Amino acid sequence: MENLYMILESTENATFEELRQNYQKLALKYHPDKNIDNTNTENFVKIRKAWDILSNEKLKKEYDIKWQQRKVAQNYPIQNEVDILEFDEDDESVLTYPCRCGGFYTLSESDIKFCYDIVCCDTCTLSIKVIYSDQDQT
């Protein structure tokens, strides 16, 4: 999970106006039309995605919650790295992966949208790092 605030060269407590100003500055700097060799296209895409989320009040709130959970989850021991394609989809559009304790690691649609990468078991204290394939997760 990427720190969208860092991509926009901002802090988590930045105002909307500060985020907007940083986005505009970075978009101009990395826009493909401004770079003849197109070496910064990937940066521009990341900047645009960060702005699309952080400029939308609902998505920003959802992202902020997931980001805080991600920071807390970093304190759990990581048992394994698992590709997202190894997860099973259940009836509720939730992805699950079995833990060795018998519990499950669960990814919601929101987790997937933000590429949430550290998932805790619903039963024990283990966690896994989710590897997202190169496919677009938006």
Q: What is the CATH number of the domain that holds 108?
A: 3.10.660.10
Q: Please compute the mean of the pLDDT values over residues 58-83 and round it to a whole number.
A: 85
My answer on whether 82 and 41 are in the same domain is: no
In a domain, 88, yes or no: yes
Q: Is the pLDDT of residue 65 over 60?
A: yes
Q: What is the β-pairing status of strands 95-98 and 78-83?
A: unpaired
Q: Provide the residue range defining the domain that includes 43.
A: 4-55
One domain, residues 87 and 126: yes
Q: Residue 66: what pLDDT? A: 86
Torsion, Cα of 112, 116, 120, 126 (10° steps) = 120
- The answer, yes or no, to whether residue 98 has pLDDT greater than 80, is yes
83-97 average pLDDT score = 88
Q: Tokens for 111?
A: 């987790």
By DSSP bridging, strand 127-131 and strand 78-83 are parallel
- Cα 95 to Cα 79: distance, rounded to the nearest angstrom: 18
- Residue 19 covered by a domain: yes
Question: Which among 47, 42, 3 is positioned nearest to 25, based on CA atoms?
Answer: 47
| Domain presence at residue 37 | yes
CA 77, distance to chain mean position in Å, is 20
Residues 76-94 have a mean pLDDT of: 86
Q: Given a cut of 80, is residue 103 above it in pLDDT?
A: yes
Q: Which range scores top for mean pLDDT: 11-20, 25-34, 68-77, 102-111?
A: 11-20
Span 2-43, pLDDT tens digits: 899 999 999 999 999 999 999 999 998 888 877 766 667 888
Question: How high is the mean pLDDT of the chain?
Answer: 87
Helices (runs of H) and strands (runs of E) counted in the chain: 5, 6
- Per the structure, the count of domains in the chain is 2
pLDDT tens string 114-137: 888 889 888 988 889 999 886 544
Q: Are 118 and 69 in contact (CB under 8 A)?
A: no
The pTM for the full model equals 0.67
107: in domain = yes
- Whether 65 maps to a domain, the answer reads no
Whether residue 51 is contained in a domain is answered as yes
Q: Is the domain of 87 the same as that of 46?
A: no
What is the pLDDT at residue 42?
83
Same domain, 51 and 81: no
